[in-house]
Structure 1
Amino acid sequence: MQLLAVPMASSGGGGITLLLPLILIVGMIWFMSRTQKKQRQRQADTVAALSPGTKVVTTSGLVGIVEETDDDYVTLEISEGVLVQVVKAAIGRVIPDEDAADETETATEPVEAATADEAVETAKVDVPDAGKAEDNKADGKVQDAPKLPPTHTEN
């Protein structure tokens, strides 16, 4: 029996086809780590800029006003006279002051109606099943109040 050596068919770019997926994976990991680093830096800047009187939201959703800051902790007033101490890393975001929001709203001038009667007429909207029972009168009859779904099921 005689064995013949037959050359294997090559794909043409063996080295580059193996390196391309590896380069893509390394690039994705680098991009994701860079994004996370920027996010951590932004969070650190936010926490470093905390001062008493700043309104903040914690990562757990607790809203409060900063009373005092420490090296590791922030004391928040979540209600009048109720103070809570949280870790600085738990501060999620700073809520902008209401004064700045009010300034932007007052910058636009409101449209004035010609008369007070027109303003009252345009302000009224006829919505069925809205308001109190005495407001829900149509043709002298009281409309049914909207019914709530059952809170539990009975077996």
Structure 2
Amino acid sequence: MQLLAVPMASSGGGGITLLLPLILIVGMIWFMSRTQKKQRQRQADTVAALAPGSKVITTSGLVGIVEETDGEYVTLEISEGVLVQVVKAAIGRVIPDDDAADDEATDSADEATDSADAGEESTDASKVDVPDTGRDKADGKVQDTPKLPPTHTEN
């Protein structure tokens, strides 16, 4: 008996199909390393911008005000008269000043009120129809809300 070798059919583009997954893997690694590099740069910028009086949150969740910065360490005041020294790398983020946050909150609240007032007709406070909540007595006094029984007993 004699066996004959029969050539197998090939797809013709074997080299490209093997390189495509390799190229995708290298691209994903490059993209992830680039993202991490940007995060490290943002962290370094945050730490470099620390100045006394800045309110910060550490990576462990400790909130404090920067009192002084050294080469590696930052001294935080976490409560009145309580100072803690942490490594600069432990600073997670800087909280913006309360004045700026309050101004933005006030501005957005004013805009919401203005837009709500623009859509309504001017009404007098005495003409506002308030639905009956079922809490009024016949003589017009507001009834106390019922108190719930205690959830535990003391021995």
Structure 1 residues 100, 141: closer, same or farther in 2, change over 3 A? Answer: closer
Task: Give 1:105 shift.
Answer: 4.4
Partner of 2:32: 32
Structure 1 residues 145, 138: closer, same or farther in 2, change over 3 A? Answer: farther
Once the two structures are superposed, the pairs formed by residues 134-145 of structure 1 within 5 Å of their partners are: 138-139=136-137, 142-145=144-147
Count of aligned pairs: 138
Structure 1 residues 147, 52: closer, same or farther in 2, change over 3 A? Answer: farther
Question: What per-residue deviation string (whole Å, max 9, x for no partner) do you get for residues 46-91 of structure 1?
Answer: 0011000000001111110000111111110011001111111110
- Superposition CA RMSD, Å: 3.4
SS class of match (1:78): strand
Amino acid at match of 2:69: T
SS class of match (1:2): coil
Segments of 5+ residues of structure 2 without an aligned counterpart are none
Partner of 1:97: 97
TM-score when scaled to structure 2? Answer: 0.73
SS class of match (2:15): helix
Equivalent residue in structure 1 for 2:125, among 99, 118, 130: 118
Partner of 1:69: 69
Task: Give 1:4 shift.
Answer: 0.2
1:18 aligns with 2:18: yes
Partner of 2:41: 41
Task: Give 1:13 shift.
Answer: 1.0
Structure 1 residues 148, 57: closer, same or farther in 2, change over 3 A? Answer: farther
Task: Give 1:100 shift.
Answer: 1.5
TM-score when scaled to structure 1? Answer: 0.73
Task: Give 1:12 shift.
Answer: 2.2
SS class of match (2:8): coil
SS class of match (1:99): helix
Task: Give 1:98 shift.
Answer: 1.1
CA distance, structure 2, for counterparts of residue 144 and residue 9 of structure 1 = 86
Partner of 1:4: 4
SS class of match (1:5): coil
Amino acid at match of 2:125: E
SS class of match (2:53): coil
Partner of 2:60: 60
SS class of match (1:103): helix
CA distance, structure 1, for counterparts of residue 51 and residue 14 of structure 2 = 60
Task: Give 1:17 shift.
Answer: 0.6
Segments of 5+ residues of structure 1 without an aligned counterpart are 129-136, 151-155
